């Protein structure tokens, strides 16, 4: 803990008061990081010049970032985000996947 932060917190009498203050100080940053990670996932679109492999590597970097920032994305949500990010060239692949996995409710 830096000396500046220590000095700010030394007047607090209980651990709860210190934790509450730290949450106030840093909680907003965690929310912002989570929103940023999810926004990156939702805005990711495969570009025509990008291979599927490179695009998937990019997405696979975003999913752990979101998880590390406490975004709870279940498997179906992750699959949906991947399909939504692929170019229109993969529409038939998505349709075939949906037919083979009727228990998933992908749109």
Q: Name which residue leads in pLDDT, 102 or 89.
A: 89
Reported as a pLDDT band with limits 50, 70 and 90, residue 5 is low
Q: Quick check: 23 pLDDT over 90? A: no
In a domain, 95, yes or no: yes
In a domain, 4, yes or no: no
Residues in the chain: 107
- Burial label for 48, CB within 10 Å (0-12, 13-18, 19+), is exposed
In a domain, 90, yes or no: yes
Residue 84 phi, psi dihedral angles, 5° rounding: -65, -25
pLDDT at 34: 83
* Number of independent structural domains in the chain: 1
The token duo for 73 is 């994305």
In a domain, 1, yes or no: no
Torsion of CA 16, 18, 20, 24, to 10 degrees: 180
pLDDT at 96: 87
pLDDT at 103: 58
The tens digit of pLDDT for each residue in 34-88 reads 888 889 999 999 998 999 999 999 999 999 988 888 888 899 899 989 999 999 8
In a domain, 83, yes or no: yes
The token duo for 50 is 């990008």
pTM above 0.75, yes or no: no
Ranking 70-74, 88-92, 101-105 by mean pLDDT, the lowest is 101-105
In a domain, 107, yes or no: no
Mean pLDDT of 17-35: 74
102 DSSP 8-state letter: T
In a domain, 3, yes or no: no
In a domain, 50, yes or no: yes
Domain membership of residue 42 as a residue range: 14-100
């Amino acid at each position: 803990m830096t000396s500046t932060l220590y000095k700010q917190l030394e007047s607090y009498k209980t651990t709860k008061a210190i934790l509450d203050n730290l949450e106030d100080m840093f909680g907003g940053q965690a929310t912002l990081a989570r929103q940023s990670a999810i926004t990156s996932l939702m805005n990711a679109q495969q570009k025509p010049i990008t291979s599927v492999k490179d695009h998937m590597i990019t997405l696979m970097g975003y999913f752990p970032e979101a998880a590390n920032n406490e975004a709870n994305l279940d498997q179906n949500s992750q699959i949906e985000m991947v399909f939504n990010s692929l170019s229109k060239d993969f529409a038939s692949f998505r349709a075939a996947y949906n037919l083979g996995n009727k228990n998933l409710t992908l749109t």
